[in-house]
Structure 1
Amino acid sequence: MNIVVVGYGMAGSRLAAELHARSADHKVTVLGAEPHRAYNRIMLSTLLAGKIDEPDMELAEVAGQGVDVRTGAGVVAVDRIAREVRTDDGDRISYDHLVLATGSRAVVPPLAGIDPADLPARVVAFRTLDDCRRILAVARDARSVLVLGGGLLGLEAARGLAARGLDVTVVHPMGHLMERQLDPAAGAVLAGTLEELGVRTELAVAASGVDVDADEIRLRLTDGRTLAADLLVLSCGVRPDTELAVAAGLTVERGVVVDDRLRTSDPDISAIGDCAQHDGAVTGLVAPAWAQARVVAQVLTGEDPTARYRPRPPVTRLKAAGIDLAAMGDPSTGPGEELTFADPARGTYARLRIHQERLTGAILLGDNPSVGAVVQLFDRGGPVPVDRRALLLGRALGTAAAPAGSPALMPDATTVCQCNDVPKRALVACWRAGARTVDDVVAATRAGTGCGGCRDAVAGIVAWLSEADSVAVPR
Structure 2
Amino acid sequence: MRVLVVGYGMAGSRVVAELRARAADVKVTALGAEPHRPYNRILLSNLLAGKVGEDDLAIAAAPAGADVRLGEPVVAVDRGRRVVRTAQEEHAYDALVLATGSAPVVPPLPGLDGPGVHAFRTLDDCRRIVASASRARRAVVLGGGLLGVEAARGLALRGLAVDIVHVGPHLMDRQLDGDGARVLARTLADLGVRAHVGATAREWTGGALRLADGAELPADVLVVACGVRPDTRLAAAAGLAVGRGVVVDDAMRTGDPRVYAIGDCAEHRGTVYGLVAPAWDQAATVADQLTGGGAAYRGSRVVTRLKASGVDLAAMGSPHAGAGAEVVSFADPARGTYARLVIEDNRVAGAVLLGDNPMVGAVVQLFDRNAEVPADRRSLLLGRAHGGEPAAAVESPALMPDSAVVCRCNTVRKAAITAAWRAGGRTVGDVVAATRATTGCGSCQDAVCGLVSWLSSVDPSTEVAA
Provide runs of 4+ in structure 1 moved above 6 Å.
396-402
Cross-structure match for 1:337: 326
Question: How much is the aligned-residue C-alpha RMSD, in angstroms?
Answer: 1.7
CA-CA distance at 1:64 after TM superposition = 3.5
Residue of structure 2 equivalent to 1:101: 99
Corresponding residue of 1:180: 174
Per-residue deviation, residues 388-426 of structure 1 (Å, max 9, x unmatched): 121111227999997453222222211011110011111
Distance 1:266 1:226 in 2: 51
Residue 474 (1) aligns with residue 465 (2): yes
Q: Which amino acid aligns with 1:101?
A: A
Aligned to 1:324: 312
Amino acid aligned to 1:323: V
Q: 2: distance between equivalents of 1:244 and 1:227?
A: 39
Candidates 339, 347, 350, aligned match of 2:339: 350
Shift of 1:325: 0.7
Q: Structure 1 residues 359, 63: CA separation in 2 closer, same or farther (over 3 Å shift)?
A: closer
Distance 2:235 2:242 in 1: 7
Residue pair 1:371, 1:394 contacting (<8 A) in 2 also? no
Structure 1 17/224 Cα, relative in aligned 2: closer, same or farther at 3 Å? Answer: same
Q: Secondary structure at the match of 1:409?
A: coil
Q: CA–CA distance in 1 between the matches of 2:54 and 2:91?
A: 31
Amino acid at match of 2:61: E
TM-score, normalising length: structure 2: 0.96
8 Å contact kept, 2:170–2:198: yes
Please, which of 301, 307, 317 is the counterpart of residue 295 of structure 2?
A: 307
Match of 1:244 among 234, 240, 247: 234
**What displacement does 1:355 show?**
1.9
Looking at structure 2, the residues matched to 122 and 113 of structure 1 have their Cα atoms a distance apart, in angstroms, of 10
Q: Measure how far apart 1:386 and its partner are.
A: 1.6
Q: Deviations over 1:86-139 (max 9, x none)?
A: 0023x100111111000000000110123xxxx334100000001001101111
Q: Tell me what 1:381 maps to.
A: 370
Paired amino acid for 1:391? L
Asked if 1 retains the 8 angstrom alpha-carbon contact of 2:384 and 2:391, the reply is no
Match of 1:432 in 2: 422
| Offset of residue 281 of structure 1 | 0.8
What is the aligned-residue identity percentage?
A: 63
Q: Is the 8 A contact 2:379 2:385 kept in 1?
A: yes
**Counterparts of 1:421 and 1:191, CA distance in 2:** 32
> Is the 8 Å Cα contact of residues 48 and 130 (structure 2) preserved in structure 1?
yes
CA contact (8 A) 2:304 2:315 kept: yes
- Whole-Å Cα distance in 1 between the matches of residues 116 and 392 of structure 2? 53
Deviation at 1:204, TM superposition (A): 1.2
The offset of 1:461, in angstroms, is: 1.0
Q: Secondary structure of 2:223's match?
A: strand
Give the drift of 1:472: 5.5
SS in 1 for 2:431: helix
Are 1:402 and 1:408, in contact at CA under 8 Å, matched by a contact in 2?
no
CA distance in 2, matches of 1:405, 1:259: 38
CA contact (8 A) 2:358 2:383 kept: yes
**Superposed displacement of residue 10, structure 1:** 0.5
Paired residues, what number?
Answer: 463
Bigger CA drift: 370-379 or 157-166? Answer: 157-166
C-alpha separation in 2, matches of 1:242 and 1:140:
35
SS at match of 2:196: strand
In structure 2, relative to structure 1, the CA distance for the partners of 1:175 and 1:292 (3 Å cut) is: same
Q: 3-state DSSP class of the match of 1:38? A: coil
Structure 2 CA distance, aligned partners of 1:75 and 1:363? 40
Q: Distance in 1 between matches of 2:392 and 2:189?
A: 37
Which consecutive unaligned segments of at least 5 residues does structure 2 have?
none
User: Match of 2:218?
Assistant: 228
Correspondence 1:389-400 to 2 at 5 A = 389-395=378-384
**DSSP-derived class of the 1:407 partner:** coil
**Distance of 1:232 and 1:64 partners within structure 2:** 42
What corresponds to 1:39 in structure 2? 39
- Opposite residue 204 of structure 2, the aligned amino acid is V
Partner of 1:110: 108
Distance 1:429 1:125 in 2: 43
Q: Give the Å deviation of 1:288.
A: 0.5
- Residue in 1 aligned with 2:8? 8
What does 1:151-190 align with in structure 2 at a 5 Å threshold?
Answer: 151-190=145-184
Cα distance in 2 between the residues matched to 1:364 and 1:52: 25
